[in-house]
Amino acid sequence: MTLPISHLQLGLIVAGVLLVLGVIGYNAWQERRVRRRIASAFRPNEERESARVEPTLGSRGDAEEAAAVRTMRAAPAATPALPRAADVPESSFVPPMEVIEHDVTAASSGNGPPVATIHVAADAGTDTQYSGVQPDPDIESVLTLELDGPVAAGALAAAFKAHLGKPLHWFGRRDGGAPWQLLTAETPGTFVEVIATMLLADRNGAASKNQVEAFQRLVLDVATPLPARVTGPDVESEANRAESLDRLCADVDVQIGLTVVKPEPNAIPGTRLRGVAEASGFRLASGGRFEYTHEDTGTVEYFLQNVRNDPFTADSLRLTTTPGVVFVLDVPRVADPVRTFDRMKLIAKRMATTLNAELVDDNRRALDDAALSGIRAQVEAATLALKRVHIEPGSARALALFGA
């Protein structure tokens, strides 16, 4: 005989079922949460940080570990190449972090069909007649003006004054086989091909969708009276490409600092500091820092800034003191970062001795030779990371991507 189930028994059964379902649901939620955390740990940074990486050393082992981490973050060498227009020359530049479909469509000022071509000379940058700035379609948005006839650079004069928040350049070719020439309002002669470029990312961040749209509107406005048709990639894909490029650059952007400081309550007189800095080859620059420039190229190899946030000026150096200075090596912007670090290290040690000061890290811990070797390893790792993504330190590409 089957006994009837009481309300209490029924309630206990329902409660047991709900408890089991709750445990199963909670476990599933926890699993999804862990997976998201694991995924986010290996996802590139969504924004480029304004502050740059500086070494904080606890020991030589810590420094070497930090260098290894940077190397791992900056090695997307297996990423497949970006799709590009058929006649754009193949580049060795590894695409930023993820594959962005780069569909090229026409931003046309005429009524013809879209033309998926951007003519960038395969020999750009190799001709001695037009050395210097050259188009780089891997880091720039490129728009082509298809001209009905030759035009003078003066016809583009209004465009040369435009400011969109990212560097703009205009290039022309005198015939189809000639190299690209950077155009200014004073450039003589006429050109049968013209392209416009806008840098997609720098240390101020990625070019926004609004900036890409403004760039295309600018080129269309210039093309209309020539007349010319404008062809190039669509806004959405270029904005995505800019964000991806910016994330890559954030992962390989490293600055190294060595601090020379006087123990409190002592300080360095500004006049004394200026004399020692200039005797070491530094010159006071307009940006409020001392710069050490390469004697042949004139490029800044490293610089010396106030350990405080106050800029150095001729007046402040004459009237005030400072507790110390920081030697800064901007790794992407120098041609041979490791050798440059070795030179900077020697000058920093010599200056510390001359000023009766100490050479320390960001946490004011003394830097001995072992610690300095660890920092040198960081410089080597950062240099290799840049080269892995085909950004040669100190090159025109590096100076563009790692400029303000």
According to the model, what pLDDT value does residue 138 have?
94
How does pLDDT run across 35-81, given as a tens digit for each residue? 443 333 333 333 444 333 333 323 334 433 333 223 222 233 222 22
Element spanning 26, H or E: helix 7-41
pLDDT (tens digit per residue) in 326-351: 999 999 999 999 999 999 999 999 99
Cα 288 from Cα 304, distance rounded (Å): 9
What would the two tokens of residue 236 be?
């959405």
CATH architecture of 252-401: 2-Layer Sandwich (3.30)
320 closest CA partner among 278, 266, 262, 267? 267
Instruction: Work out the pLDDT band at 362, boundaries 50, 70, 90.
Output: confident
Q: What's the angle, vertex CA 69, arms to CA 55 and CA 376, rounded to 5?
A: 45
Phi/psi for 328 (5° steps) reads: -125, 125
Question: Any idea where the domains of the chain sit in the sequence?
Answer: 104-250, 252-401
Say if 104-250 and 252-401 have the same CATH topology: yes
* 221: Cβ contacts below 8 Å, ≥ 6 apart: none
Give pLDDT tens digits for 218-265.
Answer: 999 999 999 999 999 999 999 999 999 999 999 999 999 999 999 888
Those residues with Cβ within 8 angstroms of residue 334's Cβ, 6 or more apart along the chain or in another chain: 299, 301, 302, 340, 393, 394
Query: Which CATH number among 2.40.128, 3.30.1400, 3.30.70, 3.40.50 corresponds to the domain 104-250?
Result: 3.30.1400
Mention every residue, 6+ apart, whose C-beta is less than 8 A from residue 329. Answer: 255, 256, 257, 301, 302, 337, 340, 341, 344, 379
Of the candidates 320, 340, 313, 217, which has an alpha carbon nearest to the alpha carbon of residue 270?
Answer: 320
Q: For residues 158 and 390, give the distance between their C-alpha atoms in angstroms, rounded to a whole number.
A: 35
User: What span, in angstroms and rounded, lies between the C-alpha atoms of 342 and 363?
Assistant: 22
- For 302, the token pair is 């490293």
Determine which helix (DSSP H) or strand (DSSP E) holds 251, and give its type and residue range.
Answer: helix 235-251
Residue 227: cis peptide before it, omega within 30 degrees of 0: yes
pTM for the predicted model, two decimal places = 0.69
Q: How confident is the model at residue 12 (pLDDT cuts 50, 70, 90)?
A: low
Placement of tokens 């006994």 in the chain: 3
Highest mean pLDDT among 34-38, 125-129, 141-145: 141-145
